[in-house]
């Protein structure tokens, strides 16, 4: 899943929501993020999507979508 999504609200203990398809889905991130931060889904645990901010790869030599 390489699509980017904006968080609906600030994370609270790592949890927030994103809009996906026709609804909103619970997400978890290992770091606290602000609303509207762009994230991408990296894993799925039940109905909770694990995400990371798209800027977390800026220190890598590869573009984010690889």
Local structure of residue 7 (DSSP, 8 states): B
Both structure tokens of 31? 């770091």
Per residue in 26-35, pLDDT (tens digit) is 999 999 999 9
How many structural domains is the chain composed of? Answer: 1
Does residue 66 fall inside a structural domain?
A: no
Q: Is 63 within a domain?
A: no
**Residue 62 lies inside a defined structural domain of this protein:** no
Q: Is pLDDT larger for residue 57 or for residue 55?
A: 55
- What's the confidence (pLDDT) of residue 55? 81
pLDDT at 8 over 50: yes
Q: Helix or strand or coil: residue 62?
A: coil
Question: With a threshold of 0.85, does the pTM exceed it?
Answer: no
Q: Give me the CATH number covering residue 23.
A: 2.40.50.140
Q: Which domain holds residue 27?
A: 4-57
Q: Is residue 65 part of a domain?
A: no
């Amino acid at each position: 899943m390489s699509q980017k999504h904006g968080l609906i609200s600030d994370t609270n203990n790592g949890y927030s929501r994103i809009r996906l398809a026709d609804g909103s889905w619970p997400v978890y991130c290992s770091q606290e993020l602000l609303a509207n931060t762009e994230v991408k889904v990296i894993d799925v645990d039940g109905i909770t999507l694990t995400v990371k901010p798209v800027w977390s790869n800026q220190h890598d030599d590869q573009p984010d979508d690889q």
